[in-house]
Structure 1
Amino acid sequence: MEDYLNVVVPYLPSELVSASALSNIRALSKVLPPFSLAGFESRLGTAQPVVDLLVRFPRLKLPLPQAFLAHSAWRSLHNLCQDWVQPTSELYDQLQHIWLEFDLDRPAASVPIPCLFLSLSDTVQDARSLVKLAHRLPEHTISASIAANLTRCAHALPTNARIEHLGAMLSRPNQAIRVVVSGIRLQQIPEYLTKIGWHDSTNRLTALISNLLEQVDSVAILDLDVGEQILPKIGIECFNRQPSPHPRQQQFLDYLVGQELCTPEKQAAIAQWTGLSQNIPQNDAAPTNLMWGDLFLRGKAHSIFWRSVSHIKLSYQPEQPLDAKAYLAFGHNWFDASVPLSA
């Protein structure tokens, strides 16, 4: 992963990542294999430039360092992947991807423990399959109460929404299951939360959603932590993908700055992130794992590293201040050489 970071890190402004945070990222990248899709999580409301790293695990038998396999969480993940790559296994059809998130607010340990997210296929929509998959999450025990809450989350879904990810926050003390609901409309969120037993003593969520409807797409992603009860902190992932005559992403960031959820410096830094950079095979910094693909496709495809702002997440908890994070995606693809590139 180190070679990939060398390509994109020059475009990561110092307002978003400090020298110490970058040192933590580089140390982690030295022990990780390359991933074609990854991203940074950046906290927007603080001047402290701390970022976390996310990577999408491919459906491959990736070689892991022996030191990793000495840890039970990594062994469980390794066994999960061993099943996932087998076409005859249930997991083969049930999981699209596996995502790992590494918290980097402190120097990476010699064996870094990630948060794990299972990306579910469309075939996993019934509550029974959901609970069964939850039992495969490493280092987690699914009690009868947790299973009942997961079932309630599945049964209460609007017809246009689905549970897209199940997460295990292995690097954190909280043993709740992260449930990620995609396709839900912003105005459907309060009713859905009420149905699953979530409570808001302040009733501020409705006002927040009314404000968001003026700033972002109406379809969002909702993050929940499901334990013996539905925990109070939720996340609303906001997107600006729909065509608009106005630059809505900039408008949304203006709103966040006005609400003191984003510093002006980080707002400006985010605007510098998006773009393309061409991988030059002859360049000493070019990732070695792409060499054969670049040679085979020479003249037929552009070898491109791309950077984009995926979304902005607002974390809401009754009686607590709002918090905003930006998710800065990057990855590598080969693009048809007959199509002109635009940075």
Structure 2
Amino acid sequence: MIVPIDELMSRLKPFLSKELVGEEELGHVNAVARLLPEVSGGFCFECRMEAGAPRVDYMVCCMRTDGGPQALADALEKTREQLTGPLWDGVRAFSRQWVDPASPLARVPVLWLEYDVEGPTANPKPFAFACVQPEFGQKPPGSRRETGATVDESLQLTWRALEAFQGAPVRPAIARTVSRCFEQLPDFAEVEHVASLACRGSDAVRMIIGMPREEVGGYLERIGWPGSRAQVEELTKTWLNYLHFAEVNLDVGETVGPTIGLALPFPEKPHEPWAKEFLQRMVDLGLCTPEKREAILQWPGRERVPLTGHRWPSNLCRTIGAKLVVRPDAPVSVKVYPYFECRFSLWSDV
């Protein structure tokens, strides 16, 4: 469902602690969010958790369902003179194919646009992620490879999306490394999202890969990650032992980059013991302030409200996720992602 961003921002503000998103940072995010004034999925903030790290980045979700591709294409056309440069040209090229039912990219279910919000800007650099699993969100992770969403289809969607974003095919040396990441997938694993790292000044590719937690160390070793398998296996055992399925963020160029991210979705009720233990470990290790921990615990929830232009009330859902950032020979750092999503519902308990 298409919802004005201003209305969603006004709805979330009473629940958003200044410990997570300060007034100045929220103002910067608001200005960026209004550049594409409607969303078809939801949006989230990227918050640093350590003391003295106020910067907040912004991510918006565009979904294939409920007219998301057309809404994005219309917004990009209206802002053609404002949002300029090769990165926006790439998002527009992707969008043109996304709305075309004859294009393979019409199979992409979700597009994320992330912005690094370091201060006021009228022309932010988009970091565009395409989901290359056509049935993403419809079936449990790991089961989609058995129901038609094959590795080959995901790889072909990867090439098409990256070519649209970059305006050119992926360089052969990088394509070989990306292909290896697909070839070495363990059972029940899948490449979920891909993005060009051009917005960070690199021709490498960001890949988000879901797999059974116990497979992470072996997989990273097989694809040539330069870090320590023992280190990452200890981290997954310590931090992710409550999960069966883990998401790994990789930067893939001619070789696999040294920095990885390990994603952790929180339950909708984060006072569950394992989530509280995770947050307390962050505080104990100095990765998070006690005030930010409490803000995280207070964020999740939902309200059933009427929205402008919609006949039936909607559920506004507040969820949260975290990501461990792992760098060889460096301390782990943590980011959290307060997510705000609008879900259609006729009933209050849906």
1:232 to 1:139, Cα distance in 2 relative to 1, 3 A: farther
1:278–1:305 contact (8 Å) kept in structure 2 = yes
- The equivalent position to 1:71 in structure 2, one of 61, 85, 108, is 85
Q: How many pairs align?
A: 320
* Aligned 8 A contact 2:112 2:128 in 1: yes
Identity %: 27
Q: Provide closer, same or farther for how the CA distance between residues 38 and 264 of structure 1 changes in structure 2, counting only shifts above 3 A.
A: same
Cα distance, 1:85–1:15 mapped onto 2, change above 3 Å: same
> Aligned pair 1:117/2:112, yes or no?
no
- Displacement, 1:203? 4.3
After superposition, the CA RMSD in angstroms is 2.5
| Equivalent of residue 83 in structure 1, options 69, 77, 97 | 97
Q: Does residue 38 of the first structure (1) align with residue 43 of the second (2)? A: yes
Counterpart secondary structure, 1:307: strand
Contact 1:56/1:99 (CA < 8 Å) preserved in 2? Answer: yes
Equivalent residue letter for 1:6: S
* Residue 137 (structure 2) aligns with: none
2: CA distance between counterparts of 1:232 and 1:152? 16
Unaligned runs of 5+ in 1: 281-289
Structure exhibiting the larger radius of gyration computed from Cα positions: 1
Q: Which whole-Å CA distance do the structure 2 matches of 1:42 and 1:110 have between them? A: 21
Q: Distance in 2 between matches of 1:219 and 1:308?
A: 18
CA 1:246 to 1:73, structure 2 compared with 1: closer, same or farther past 3 Å?
closer
Q: CA deviation at 1:153?
A: 0.1
Distance 2:24 2:270 in 1: 39
From the superposition, tell whether residues 235 and 148 of structure 1 become closer, same or farther in structure 2 (CA, over 3 Å): same
Residues 77-156 of structure 1: matches in 2 within 5 Å? 77-93=91-107, 95-107=108-120, 109-122=121-134, 123=149, 125-126=151-152, 129=156, 130-138=158-166, 142-156=170-184
- Among 221, 228, 233, which residue is 1:194 paired with? 221
Q: Is the 8 A contact 1:113 1:170 kept in 2?
A: no
Q: TM-score, normalised by structure 1?
A: 0.85
- The 1:340–1:225 alpha-carbon spacing in structure 2 relative to 1, beyond 3 Å, is closer
Q: What is the rounded CA distance, in whole Å, between the counterparts of 1:242 and 1:73 in structure 2?
A: 35
Aligned to 1:232: 258
In the alignment, the residues of structure 2 paired with residue 273 and residue 244 of structure 1 have an alpha-carbon distance, to the nearest angstrom, of 9
Q: CA deviation at 1:140?
A: 6.5
Tell me the distance in 1 between the aligned counterparts of 2:9 and 2:198. Answer: 24
Secondary structure of 1:42 counterpart: strand
Aligned in 2, Cα 1:222/1:25: closer, same or farther, shift over 3 Å? Answer: same
Instruction: Give yes or no for the alignment of 1:168 onto 2:196.
Output: yes
> Which of 249, 274, 292 is the equivalent residue of 1:223?
249
Mapped partners of 1:221, 1:103: distance in 2: 21
| 1:302-321 matches, cutoff 5 A | 302-309=313-320, 311-321=321-331
Q: d(CA) in 1 for partners of 2:270 and 2:104?
A: 42
Out of 304, 309, 315, the residue aligned to residue 292 of structure 1 is 309
* 2:14 equivalent to 1:7: no
Task: Read off the aligned partner of 1:150 and give its amino acid letter.
Answer: V
Shift of 1:77: 1.2
Corresponding position of 2:340: 330
* TM-score normalised per structure 2: 0.84
Q: Distance in 2 between matches of 1:169 and 1:312?
A: 21
Q: Give the equivalent residue in structure 2 for 1:284.
A: none
Q: Shift of residue 132 of structure 1?
A: 4.3
Q: Residue 36 of structure 2 aligns to which amino acid in structure 1?
A: L
Gap change, CA 1:41 and 1:124, over 3 Å in 2: farther
Q: How far, CA to CA, are the matches of 1:170 and 1:9 in structure 2?
A: 32
Give distance in 1, aligned partners of 2:305 and 2:247. 33
**Structure 1 residues 48 and 206, CA, compared in 2 at 3 Å: closer, same or farther?**
same
8 Å Cα contact 1:67-1:111 kept in structure 2: no
Does structure 1 retain, via aligned residues, the 8 Å contact 2:130–2:194?
A: yes
2:117 alignment partner AA: L
Partner residue, 1:268: 294
Whether the 8 Å contact between 1:178 and 1:224 is mirrored in structure 2 is: yes
Structure (1 or 2) with the greater helix fraction: 2
Q: CA offsets per residue over residues 72-131 of structure 1, 9 Å max, x none?
A: 3212211211111111111112x1111001111322x21111111001124362275133
